[in-house]
Amino acid sequence: MQEMSSHVQTARPSQMTDLTERAARIKQKLEQGVKKPYKDVIDVSWGDPQRAGMKPLSFVRQVLAACFYPQLLDGDNLPLDVKRRAQELLWCCDGGSVGSYTNTPGISEIVESIAEFLTRRDGIPADPGNIWIHPGSQMSLMKILSLLVHSEASPKSGVLMPVPGHTTTPLSVETLGGVVVPYFLDEECGWEIGVDELRRALDSARGVCQPVALYVINPGNPSGHVQSRKSMEEVIRFVAENKLFLLADEVYQSSIYDAEREFVSYKKLLWELGPPLSHTLELASFHSASKGLLGECGLRGGYVELLNIDPAVMPYVQQSFHMVTCSPVYGQIALALMAKPPQPGDPSYPLYKHETECARSTLLDNVKRVHQVLNSLPAIRCQPVQGGAFAFPRLLLTPKAISKAKEVGMQPDTFYCVGLLEETGLFVSPGSEYGQKEGTYHIRICIMTSADIMEELLRRLSAFHLQFMKDFE
């Protein structure tokens, strides 16, 4: 990102790798009986709910189990609706087995169930022919980027990217030979996207590259913001005005915590704005089974829905997508269960409702506790977490701490995270991993964890922070 702006701080990849390796060494030492002031490593550096302590939903695991071991269907241990869903999914598989290849876009019945889910969500008919399942939403995004970013183009293709933002996407653009054009989210306004900042970013690209797309993450990662309708409408008009392709990463759409904010898909708002925008603006939106209350990151199931793609371009899209034989069937099944969970009256519904309500209640409490505790500490400011999986508090580090970090060859927030990990066993990510304005420092904390782990991590973080600020007054 530094190619476009000298005002973006990013961590060298080796620093995050070093943190990961440190955490692995500490875990190994603890397992070997080495005494430390803590008994375990709390890893909230990933957006992985189950890694951070959340439990999988019983319904999802029961259906998966029956699909992978159909003999379970002969017993009495599974609810009737679980058996019915497993049988339906197996009937959709060639040979009645999840070990078979599927159609490249995905099992047709599952693609259709996703289309029905999108139709219910937006109140707009969704065409199954515009939906493609991939091994995770990031793979879907990479496929679209490969069509937009041309390595031989002159000038190079540029993609406007949020700062802070997801780490993998800028790397994908650069790997494809494109240029990352950073635009900054407004921290003081709850990390909102401002159209004036988008215009500044676009102007900064003149003479460097030819911008072809705008990438947005809503709800935000790592910022935790949820875009307002006003902001989204400004983004849509900006994209149309500048003839850009809109890439909408909406994987955290089911994770909204602010009662005054709601998730609205870009497709829905685009439709509400009406012609000509609703019929002309090219949009790719992404969703995944990895995020939200489902949290099945390891199953690798994601999809992209395309809208208003030029008919002349669609054959190239299909050709690119067909280069992947098919997505893992277990990820496709997870998407099917996300799109169509148990309904009232189904035998599994009471347990499903209980588990999801408990999980949501825990996350709402976590969000309140994070905001309350972090903002009670000196030299930390944390914007409200409106949605998503992360808190992204700002560290107001002293000149002494910054100087010491530079002395040992680290970004200041990485230096902070190393100390936090070594001294307390708490593993969080440095903000420089995701991009941040020069002179600001942040950490990213996954809030999708159990209540007891959240309380323990806040206890460790508070104790460390107070001592750290004292040591580097």
pLDDT over 50 at 1, yes or no: no
User: Is 80 exceeded by the pLDDT of residue 7?
Assistant: no
Domains in the chain, ordered, with CATH? 8-54+352-467 (3.90.1150.10), 95-339 (3.40.640.10)
Q: How many whole angstroms separate alpha carbon 86 and alpha carbon 319?
A: 32
Nearest to 217 by CA among 193, 197, 187: 193
Q: CA 468 to CA 307: how far, in whole Å?
A: 50
DSSP reduced 3-state for 429: strand
Q: Which two tokens stand for residue 405?
A: 């970090």
pLDDT category at 151 given cuts 50, 70, 90 is: confident
Digit-coded pLDDT (tens) for 269-293: 999 999 999 999 999 999 999 887 8
Residue 4: the pLDDT is: 54
The helix (run of H) or strand (run of E) holding residue 181 is: strand 179-184
Confidence of residue 13 (pLDDT cuts 50, 70, 90): low
pLDDT over 80 (residue 266): yes
Q: For the whole model, what pTM was predicted?
A: 0.94
Q: How far apart are CA 137 and CA 371, in angstroms?
A: 29
Q: What percent of the chain has pLDDT over 90?
A: 85
* Better pLDDT: 232 or 1: 232
Per-residue pLDDT, averaged over 367-396, amounts to 97
Mean pLDDT of 292-298: 86
328 phi, psi to nearest 5 deg: -55, 135
- Between 312 and 90, the more confident residue is 90
Q: Are 79 and 345 in contact (CB under 8 A)?
A: no
Q: Which two tokens stand for residue 162?
A: 């949020």
Query: Average pLDDT over the chain, rounded to whole?
Result: 93
Whether the predicted pLDDT of 204 surpasses 70: yes
pLDDT for the residue numbered 48: 87
Residue 419: count other Cβ atoms within 10 Å of its Cβ: 18
Where residue 49 falls among pLDDT bands split at 50, 70, 90? confident
Taking only the tens place, the pLDDT of each residue in 210-223 is 999 999 999 999 99
